[in-house]
């Protein structure tokens, strides 16, 4: 197993529909280096290949591994010294594997133990709005949100909870709490 790498990366996370991508987009507009959210990107790349949402999500393990592959590749390409805001990070996968009833694979555990994030900002839940990629109901949204909180609590990363306030104020709150 690799030794933990201390990074200047800040994770923006929370359950479905917490405003993560909105916050990350606003941080990017302010000139910060950011990453994309890989579940939606994975779905979009599969749709381009002609697959339906049902086909993409049919095999939960293949779906999660596809997302995990993208996350591993992305984090490996980042400089640990750069200040970066990640739209989710590898430990989020632990919560989703647990939510879906999947056993963790060795690579997931190894990768989750590889990086130590500077801060983890967990956004409080907003009202649920479903779209083509987000199909969870409110009960599932709450369960995933709590699983994400529990997953990050198992790592030595400082956690900051971000309240429900207007998006620009959320960004200010995050920047003030770095």
Per-residue pLDDT tens over the stretch 62-115: 778 888 888 898 999 999 999 999 999 999 999 999 998 999 888 888 888 888
CATH classification (class only), 5-176: alpha beta
Q: Could you give the CA distance from residue 164 to residue 167 in angstroms, rounded to a whole number? A: 8
The closest alpha carbon to 94, from 74, 111, 78, 80, belongs to 111
Burial zone of 75 (CB within 10 Å; 0-12 exposed, 13-18 middle, 19+ buried): buried
Q: Could you give the CA distance from residue 104 to residue 123 in angstroms, rounded to a whole number? A: 25
Q: pTM here?
A: 0.87
Q: Identify the residue whose tokens are 């950011």.
A: 34
């Amino acid at each position: 197993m690799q030794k933990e790498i201390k990074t200047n990366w800040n994770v923006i996370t929370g359950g479905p529909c917490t405003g993560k991508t909105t916050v990350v987009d606003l941080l990017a507009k302010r000139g910060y280096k950011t990453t994309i959210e890989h579940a939606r990107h994975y779905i979009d790349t599969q749709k381009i290949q002609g697959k339906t949402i049902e086909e993409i999500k049919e095999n939960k393990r293949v779906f999660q591994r596809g997302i995990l592959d993208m996350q591993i590749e992305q984090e490996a390409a980042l400089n640990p010294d750069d200040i970066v805001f990640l739209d989710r990070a590898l430990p989020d996968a632990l919560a989703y594997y647990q939510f879906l009833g999947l056993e963790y694979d060795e690579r997931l555990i190894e990768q989750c133990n590889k990086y130590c994030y500077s801060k983890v900002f967990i956004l409080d839940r907003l009202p649920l709005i479903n779209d083509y990629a987000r199909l969870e109901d409110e009960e599932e949204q709450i369960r995933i949100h709590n699983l994400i909180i529990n997953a990050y609590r198992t790592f030595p990363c400082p956690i900051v909870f971000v309240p429900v306030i207007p998006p620009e104020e959320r960004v200010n709150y995050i920047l003030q709490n770095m």
